[in-house]
Amino acid sequence: MILTSISDIISKYHSFFTRGLLYTILLAVLGTAGGFLLALPFLGIKTTKIDPIRDSKVSIFIKKVGIGFTNVYTTFFRGTPMMVQAMIFYYGMSLVIHNVTGNNYWWKPIIAGIIVIIINTSAYIIEILRGAVNAIDPGQMEAARSLGFSRKKALYLIIYPQAIKNALPSIGNEFIVNLKDSSVLSVIGIFDLFKATGSVVSTTADSVTPYIITAILYLTLTSITALLVKKLESKRHGGEMKNV
Amino acid sequence: MSNVILNIVNVRKSFGDHHVLKDINLEVHKSEVVTLIGSSGSGKTTLLRCLNLLNEPDSGHIYFFENDLMNPKTDLDKLRMSIGMVFQNFNLFNNKNVIDNCTLALIKLKGMNKEAAEEKAMHYLAKVGMANFAQANVARLSGGQKQRVAIARALCMEPEIMLFDEPTSALDPEMVGEVLEVIQALAKEGMTMVIVTHEMAFAKEVSDKILFMENGIILESGRPEEIFNRPKNERTRLFLKRFTQN
């Protein structure tokens, strides 16, 4: 019975699911890739060290402001629901743009949604990368400094590449989280998989089957990604284990 | 006086309430091999790490030629290029293979082109007997091989002085010899070196001057035969006795 209704709904409404799926994947891909890129400058700020002997007063002040701002940023975006962030950002910007430019017809939910998921993801990836940097053996930095590399050069050439490589599985997990959590962005009217399912429900009056289909689609996406992440992890560990 | 490479004047260092170095004074001359011995916690590794400011002393002066490393205006990074360091745990760059470990600083800091840097790296890798491993992943090397690459990496910068921080302490016994041989060969060529080690026989053979440290001070210093055969201080005698008994 359930199987026939599943195949019925799919054959009638597959375009809804396809379109929703595309938006969900788009949000997760852009959110994770963009979040990673946005996290990098913050990582630079978070991993600076204040040298009370050699830094000028101005640069100590700038570093302190930067670190403070980064802390507020990660605390806020990790401490509030993305759904709330999306509401504030979409409707807030809508008002601002209208007041400033006189019209806001180009301000679309999808643009707001992509920006929000990028910012939200970056806040998590900043913490992931900071942890990965802290986990690198301090001897790597000491060796670089002893050769004459500045702290900054040592970070860019030696520490960050290793930390980012080690953090890739965790960033993959962020992608999985984004696949699922992008569903909350439907609240501002993005036609993602969750929203698409809602449309099918309202036209079929069947409020269970479409969600079962959607659950299977989400599960497929996350399972494939989890498999890839696992492969990435075992490749990394496999490489290290051989040398122990 | 002109052949003084390092001049350490009234250096003090404490970690919290613990005074690790109490007023250290020391001169290292060109081509001199100075070895620091003493029990764990005597301050010898801290002193060595102060010599290139990996540990920042609380007070005092460390003159490398005429430059005081303790002066905040000194370009530390530039001077460190001339002070090689070899660590107990090798600290090879894990994201680079053997030759890239050696060429990175040459290319990025000395502005050499890749070919010239690799030529130099191969020269020093050959010197430590690691030329055949130029393309190897550092994770695949044994401890002794890693340490020899670490020495080659430091030598590539053609430093004025080399600092060795217990270079064989993390090695399996059968690999200690290959690393000590490399260091000994460097000593013969006239490389100026400061070495922290627990290898007493090696210290006796390679050193021009031995410093016995205890509780943050240099308790006794002298030529190897003086320290080993006629130690003036009772503590030195006890320390060496313990070591020769083992």
Q: Could you read off the pLDDT of A24-66 as tens digits, one per residue?
A: 999 999 999 999 999 999 999 999 999 988 899 999 999 999 9
The better pLDDT of the pair A205, B96 is held by: B96
User: Which of A161, A136, A237, A137 is CA-nearest to residue B89?
Assistant: A137
Residue B213, amino acid: M
CB of A236 within 8 Å of a chain B CB? The answer is: no
Please, are residues A47 and A133 in contact by the beta-carbon 8 Å criterion?
A: yes
Q: What is the pLDDT of residue A63?
A: 95
pTM: 0.91
The whole-angstrom separation of Cα A144 and Cα A151 is 8
Tokens of A74: 């990660």
Could you give the 3-state DSSP secondary structure of residue B36? Answer: strand
The 3-class SS string of chain A reads: CHHHHHHHHHHHHHHHHHHHHHHHHHHHHHHHHHHHHHHHHHHHHHCCCCCCCCCCHHHHHHHHHHHHHHHHHHHHHHHCCHHHHHHHHHHHHHHHHHHHHCCCCCCCHHHHHHHHHHHHHHHHHHHHHHHHHHHCCHHHHHHHHHHCCCHHHHHHHHHHHHHHHHHHHHHHHHHHHHHHHHHHHHHHCCCCHHHHHHHHHHHHCCCCHHHHHHHHHHHHHHHHHHHHHHHHHHHHHHHHHCCC
The whole-angstrom separation of Cα A225 and Cα A217 is 13
Q: Chain B: give the shortest CA distance to residue A158, in Å.
A: 7
Instruction: Give the pLDDT mean for B207-212.
Output: 96
Q: Chain A: give the shortest CA distance to residue B49, in Å.
A: 10
Cβ contact A146–B139 (<8 Å): no
Q: What ipTM was reported for this prediction? A: 0.94
Cβ contact A140–B87 (<8 Å): no
Place of tokens 């989280």: A177
- Of chain A, the percentage scoring pLDDT greater than 90 comes to 85
Q: Chain B: give the shortest CA distance to residue A166, in Å.
A: 11
Tokens of A12: 């009638």
The whole-angstrom separation of Cα A27 and Cα A116 is 10
Q: Chain A: give the shortest CA distance to residue B34, in Å.
A: 19
List CB contacts of A3: < 8 A, sequence separation 6 or more. none
- In this structure, the number of other CB atoms found within 10 A of the CB of residue B242 comes to 10
Using one digit for the tens of pLDDT, what is the confidence trace for A176-225?
999 999 999 999 999 999 999 999 999 998 889 999 999 999 999 999 99
Q: What is the pLDDT of residue A243?
A: 43
Please, are residues B77 and A149 in contact by the beta-carbon 8 Å criterion?
A: yes
CB of A138 within 8 Å of a chain B CB? The answer is: no
Phi, psi of B8 (to 5 degrees): -105, 125
Please, are residues B33 and B187 in contact by the beta-carbon 8 Å criterion?
A: yes
- Cα A230 to chain centroid distance, Å, stands at 19
Q: What is the pLDDT of residue B2?
A: 62
The whole-angstrom separation of Cα B186 and Cα B150 is 14
pLDDT level of residue B246 (50, 70, 90 thresholds): low
Tokens of B126: 């050959």
Cβ-based contacts of B162 with chain A (< 8 Å): none
Burial of B125 (0-12, 13-18, 19+ CB in 10 A): buried
**Nearest residue of B to residue A138, measured between CA atoms:** B91
- Cα B24 to chain centroid distance, Å, stands at 17
Burial of B8 (0-12, 13-18, 19+ CB in 10 A): buried
Cβ contact B104–A53 (<8 Å): no
